[in-house]
Amino acid sequence: MSGIPESAAGAAPVVLVTSRSFGSGTAPVEDRLAAAGLRVVRGSTVHDPAELAPLLAGSVAWIAGTAPVTDAHLAAAPRLKVVARYGVGVDSVDLAAAARRGVTVTHTPAANSDAVADLGIALLLAALRGVAAGDRAVRAGSWQPRRGRELGTLTLGVVGLGRVGRGVARRAAGFGTEVLGHDPYLDPVVFEVLGVRRTPLAELAGRCDAVSLHAPGGTRVVDERWLAGARPGLIVVNTARADLVDEHAVAAALRDGRLAAYAADTLAGEGGAAAESPLLAAEFADRVVLTPHLGAQTVEAVDRMGAGAVRAVLDVLAGREPAHPVPLPVPATEESAP
């Protein structure tokens, strides 16, 4: 393909892939790279620097998963033109380092929004009806019924009305649920179009039966102060970021009855560190529903993320503007540096 740089000795240029699920759907994404004269090389999905350094040295593109992309990684990749994030979030990428080294960063912002919104509703329903607890009971030989709530009779609060939050609001409205929402960056007119009642964040806990979190990470939403005003029996769903929630405050609220249930697709620390979460305590087994980052894991989302990442790689290598570039900070010059 015209514009794609050659590797040493005329070998096919290398695209490093460190996303575990890239190419595991139905779309022939690796074939598209091969057809463009590119060679796919798989590397550590946790971005182990020692393992990736020799692979990065010859790579012109990197299709990266959720593990960190650091300045040290980029320093080991003198020929790298693009980091294509296989997914939405880019908080794991050192954008300043990419800017300094002239590396384009892209992502696939709309690829998994429906999948995550579906899971958000699934987790809410599972919490409302005690699905996980019911499954364990039947396996233990008990058929004692557990009484739940109907989604259509409830008021749902949605924190963050981006693509996923809007998807959850639309799905909930289909059940007949009243939806309140908070998003400080959204024009009030959009709330009207969505049929969502604009509500201050501090009031959602007291006015809603359930609250679903879809805000970007970095700012705590659910903490002791917020939970102090919770309507008795509140359910909280988190398919966004673990740092939106103070898990110790959630555990205390579950223990004293302010929260009826908590459902999440993420935990603080994750991996081995997640084992220390208070929400894994046996006392909460029937009221805490957890999934291991299933949000984007549908065949359709995997295909869309893969196709979007491949398209970004091909566009950048051919000198075209990619569909979804990530804005990079302006590198400091010698004149502007302090």
Q: Which residues are catalytic?
A: 241, 270, 293
Residue appearing with tokens 């220390």: 276
Measured in whole angstroms, how far is the alpha carbon of residue 265 from the centre of its chain? Answer: 9
Contact between residue 309 and residue 30 where contact means Cβ atoms under 8 Å apart: no
Cβ-contact 202, 208 below 8 angstroms: no
CA distances (Å), origin 250, targets 64, 125, 226, 315: 33, 19, 10, 45
Helix ranges (H only) for the chain are 29-35, 49-56, 71-75, 95-100, 113-129, 131-139, 163-174, 188-194, 201-207, 224-228, 247-256, 299-317
Q: What is the CA radius of gyration of the chain?
A: 22
Please state, as a whole number, how many other Cβ atoms lie within 10 Å of the Cβ of residue 4.
19
Provide the token pair at 299. 């065949």
3-state secondary structure (DSSP) of residue 41: strand
Question: Rounded to 10 degrees, what is the CA torsion of 24, 28, 34, 38?
Answer: -60
Please answer whether residues 177 and 151 qualify as being in contact, where contact means their C-beta atoms are separated by less than 8 angstroms: yes
For 234, the enclosing helix (H) or strand (E) is strand 234-238
Cα 150 to its chain centre, rounded Å, is: 27
